[in-house]
């Protein structure tokens, strides 16, 4: 029996494994760096905005400061998204806390806001009971610090940890990690042409609830449907303009949603990470009305 105590705070937040299971026919939305169309990327209001929009997951980036605190920021440097300069990992938490975040996706002409760079702890608390969190650990050697934070907050059931996997490898180091099995894990890899189902059989020991996949032919995804169903794996694809999954990207989706989001969902994709969350949610709502 899964405990549904957390569900009382929001009827939408189910058990994460129930949400990811293929028995849930909903297409899941992942807000890349939060809802940054309305707030600075990777900020607390961007997480809040995503939850209010009804997305199931926010993707956030984390890395450690010079004094060992995890902060939520994507770039190695401070320039693009904050009022500061220099390297995140060479700056103290106090220095980073004193900076202001730039609006939206940042850049030198983006206006400064009164928002600050959050700690991972603050971000997880903001999301708790409202939206699940996909944590992108920018430097793999900092993963133990990330895991320790998740555990300290009792957030094991609210997050998914992703890492790169080589399906043909003889062994998967993540299987030996002390957190494996206690915190949901999402393998990431590229589907080999005409061999995606083989790759999936090779990773069966990982018991993955969801995998993030890159592809060179959308037909490869559809061809593996039976194997995905057998292992109950949900397929996550990025349609970010920078993901390079052919031309299945947000810019084209805004002009031709059926040609991008429609084609992906028809090929069996069950989770899409996007920078255009409002439009994607509108498209999903229109679909379910039919």
Active site amino acids: 32, 74
With residue 135 as reference, give the H or E element that holds it.
Answer: strand 132-137
Residue 220, classed as helix, strand or coil, is helix
Q: Hey, which residues does 57 pair with through a beta bridge?
A: 30, 132
Which residue is listed with tokens 């058990």? 15
In angstroms, the Cα distances linking 141 to 21, 154, 156 are 30, 22, 20
Judged by DSSP in three states, 149 sits in helix
Question: Are 74 and 61 a contacting pair, CB within 8 Å?
Answer: yes
Q: What are phi and psi of 6, to 5 degrees?
A: -70, -20
Q: Tell me the pairing of strands 271-274 and 28-32.
A: parallel
Is the CB of residue 12 less than 8 Å from the CB of residue 23? no
Q: In 3D, which of 111, 182, 97 has the Cα closest to residue 148?
A: 182
- Cα torsion angle, 190, 192, 194, 197, sign: negative
Q: Are 206 and 232 in contact (CB under 8 A)?
A: no
* Beta strands at 57-64 and 70-72: parallel, antiparallel or unpaired: antiparallel
Structure letter (DSSP) for residue 179: T
Assign 159 to helix, strand or coil: strand
């Amino acid at each position: 029996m899964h405990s549904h105590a957390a569900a009382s705070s929001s009827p939408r937040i189910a058990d994460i494994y129930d949400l990811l299971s293929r028995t849930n026919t909903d297409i899941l939305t992942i807000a890349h760096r939060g809802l940054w169309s309305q707030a600075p990327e990777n900020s607390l209001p961007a997480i809040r905005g995503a939850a209010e929009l009804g997305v199931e997951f926010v993707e956030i980036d984390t890395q450690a400061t010079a004094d060992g605190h995890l902060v939520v920021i994507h770039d190695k440097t401070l320039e693009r998204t904050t009022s500061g300069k220099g390297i995140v990992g060479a700056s103290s938490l106090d220095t980073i806390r004193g900076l202001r975040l730039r609006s939206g996706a940042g850049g030198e002409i983006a206006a400064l806001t009164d928002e600050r760079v959050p700690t991972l702890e603050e971000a997880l608390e903001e999301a708790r009971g409202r939206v699940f969190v996909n944590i992108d650990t920018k430097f793999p050697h900092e993963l133990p610090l990330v895991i320790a934070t998740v555990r300290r907050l009792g957030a094991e059931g609210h997050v998914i940890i992703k890492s790169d996997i080589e399906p043909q490898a003889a062994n998967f180091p993540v299987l030996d990690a002390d957190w494996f099995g206690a915190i949901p894990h999402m393998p990431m890899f590229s589907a080999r042409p005409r061999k995606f189902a083989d790759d999936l059989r090779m990773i069966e020991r990982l018991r993955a609830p969801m995998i993030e996949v890159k592809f060179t032919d959308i037909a490869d995804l559809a061809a593996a449907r039976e194997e995905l169903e057998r292992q109950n794996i949900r397929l996550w694809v990025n349609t970010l303009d920078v993901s390079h999954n052919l031309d299945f990207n947000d810019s084209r989706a805004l002009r031709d949603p059926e040609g991008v989001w429609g084609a992906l969902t028809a090929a069996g994709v069950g989770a899409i990470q996007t920078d255009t969350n409002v439009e994607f949610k509108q498209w999903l709502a229109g679909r379910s009305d039919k």
